[in-house]
Structure 1
Amino acid sequence: MAKHKIFTMSVASVYPHYVTKAEKKGRTKTEVDEIIRWLTGYSQEELQAQLEKQADFETFFAEAPQLNSSRALIKGVICGVRVEDIEEPTMQEIRYLDKLIDELAKGKAMEKILRR
């Protein structure tokens, strides 16, 4: 079976859309970065390196230093699908990220977004 198109898209090509979505709602690039670092375990420097090397989503999540164990607490619907029901691991990681960015744009407090 062919890979889903999003797996081969570079994170760097989608990242500006995450930032724009957040900024339109009064949030910041710093908060977007914090969410990505929380989810993946990348440091700010490692995140920047992944963006600069144009890593695709599959590689980005495969190389993540420490996927946050609390990400299993992320629930809800993104793109019409419940994130907790997605069976393909990489797609689930991508949708977790999408859901967290949506929560940021909807004004949720960072403590709640980061499941503290």
Structure 2
Amino acid sequence: MNKDGKYAVVAIMAQEDQEINEAFEFLDKFLPLKVNESIKVNEDFNINKVLPENQTYYTYTGSLTTPPCTEGVQWYILKNPVGVSSKIIEDLRKIMPINNFRNVQPLNGRIIKESI
């Protein structure tokens, strides 16, 4: 959120892969064991290590996917997924509620743009 209260979300798709993104291994060390548990991260984290090499993306104005489903959020969805281990996928499944997403919403005139 910026100083004007506007939100932006960068979505990074992940897929199970043998070539594992080291940043996700870092994040797995601090993954909570249950929903709503807070974990203090006491190490530096370089967000650039999470990003795929090819950083082309789709962008549109939408909303947050969880309550309060705030509108006017600028989304940036990276086109290329990063690899994560099956262990991380299983760890996330253990703490994430099933169907923790908002249903697809009508476009209502929104335009989806693609970077080059």
TM-score range, shorter chain: under 0.3
Higher-Rg structure is 2
User: More relative contact order in 1 or in 2 (CA 8 Å, sep 6+)?
Assistant: 2
Higher-strand-fraction structure: 2
Q: How does the TM-score come out when normalised to structure 1?
A: 0.26
Higher-helix-fraction structure: 1
Q: How does the TM-score come out when normalised to structure 2?
A: 0.26
